[in-house]
């Protein structure tokens, strides 16, 4: 039977024997902690320290960095998995 070969606790592992689920969870936890640590300095500034224009500049820069990282990291994968027309359509739609 199909279910006979699957045992409880026998999770998929890569070539190195690392559980990908645990590795992904740990990497996400590290990224979340790094984001929180990077935001700590903002707590020590008063709202009068930065002008509204400077806050807009910082927010726009951060948004651009995130969009670029997302687009460039996913672009290669979508070209490998799909084809160029679908990749272009996905990027145009959002």
Dist. CA 9–CA 78, nearest whole Å: 32
What's the pLDDT score for residue 21? 82
Q: What does the pLDDT profile of the chain (94 residues) look like in tens digits?
A: 444 444 545 555 556 667 778 888 898 899 888 888 887 877 777 767 778 888 888 888 888 888 888 778 777 777 787 778 877 887 788 6
Domain extent at residue 63:
3-93
Q: Which residue has the tokens 């994968």?
A: 77
Q: What pLDDT, on the 0 to 100 scale, is given for residue 4?
A: 46
| pTM, 2 dp | 0.44
Number of domains composing the chain:
1
On whether the CB atoms of residues 42 and 55 are closer than 8 A, the answer is: no
| Residue 17, pLDDT score | 67
Report the distance separating Cα 66 and Cα 70, nearest Å: 6
pLDDT of residue 57: 87
The per-residue pLDDT for 30 is: 92
């Amino acid at each position: 039977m199909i279910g006979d070969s699957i045992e409880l606790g026998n999770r998929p592992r890569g070539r190195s024997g690392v559980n990908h689920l645990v590795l992904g969870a740990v990497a996400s936890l590290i990224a979340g902690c790094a984001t929180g640590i990077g935001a700590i300095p903002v707590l020590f500034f008063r709202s009068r320290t930065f002008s509204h224009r400077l806050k807009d500049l910082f927010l726009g820069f951060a948004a651009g960095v995130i969009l670029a990282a997302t687009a460039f990291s996913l672009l290669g994968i979508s070209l490998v998995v799909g084809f160029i027309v679908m990749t272009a359509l996905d990027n145009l739609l959002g």
